[in-house]
Amino acid sequence: MNTEQISLEDRAARHAALADPARLRIVDLLTVADRSPSELQIELGMTSNLLAHHLGVLERAGLIARTRSEGDRRRSYLHFRPSGLDGFPLTPILSAQRIVFVCTGNSARSPLAAALWEQGSSIPATSAGTHPAAATSPKAVAVAARRGLRFDPPVPRDIDGAIGKDDLVITVCDRAHEELHRPEALHWSISNPGRVGTDAAYDAAFDEIARRIDVLRPQLSAS
């Protein structure tokens, strides 16, 4: 009974937080991509004080959370908590002819994201890096094998010439996002598993990418 009561209270708080159009718009934006407070402020045309108020309401309701950038440590990214989607149907709000996933080295996160995307979508995907590594990470190959993902990535390549004008760009690396300066790109703040180097770190990155793709897929239609 107590568990049911807590659940009802949580649900009531969540609906109350989403009752404001501005907060609902923030949630719409954060379900598809992570954004820094300054990026949200520009997107919404909102003063910093008012944005801080709305973000505080959403955080207290358990709908959003913050993480520190692995690139510019002065910057934080806001993201929608996975549990916040429970009970809220998603509808397509974006369209794309192709997706280009981008990270720094194009050796783990971005090629894994492209392979995961193509596994369940008719919209093609590819990947590139801002500073491509010499080869794909063996640990990325290993995590794909552990998870049963068909993974045969090409040699890591530079973003120059890799992005077309009608492509949807998704950065899966804070450093790449902060270097590209593409306001139209979506950003997923995925921790760099190479910094830790363990199988567990690669498993966690793989799972987070897969979760994000599951969320985006019903919100994206072919253009």
CA separation for the pair 16, 167 (Å, rounded): 37
CATH fold group of domain 94-222:
Rossmann fold (3.40.50)
CATH 1.20.210.10 fits 2-85, yes or no: no
Mean pLDDT of 106-130: 96
Q: Are 136 and 107 in contact (CB under 8 A)?
A: yes
Phi, psi of 92 (to 5 degrees): -60, 130
Q: Are 69 and 75 in contact (CB under 8 A)?
A: yes
Tokens describing residue 153: 């990535």
**pLDDT band at residue 119, thresholds of 50, 70 and 90?**
very high
Q: What is the pLDDT of residue 87?
A: 58
The answer to whether residue 90 scores a pLDDT higher than 80 is no
**pLDDT band at residue 50, thresholds of 50, 70 and 90?**
very high
* Burial annotation 108-144 (CB, 10 A radius, 16+ → b, else e): bbbbbbbbbbeeeeebebbbbbbebbeebbebbbebb
The answer to whether residue 84 scores a pLDDT higher than 70 is no
CA separation for the pair 147, 155 (Å, rounded): 21
Q: What is the pLDDT of residue 2?
A: 37
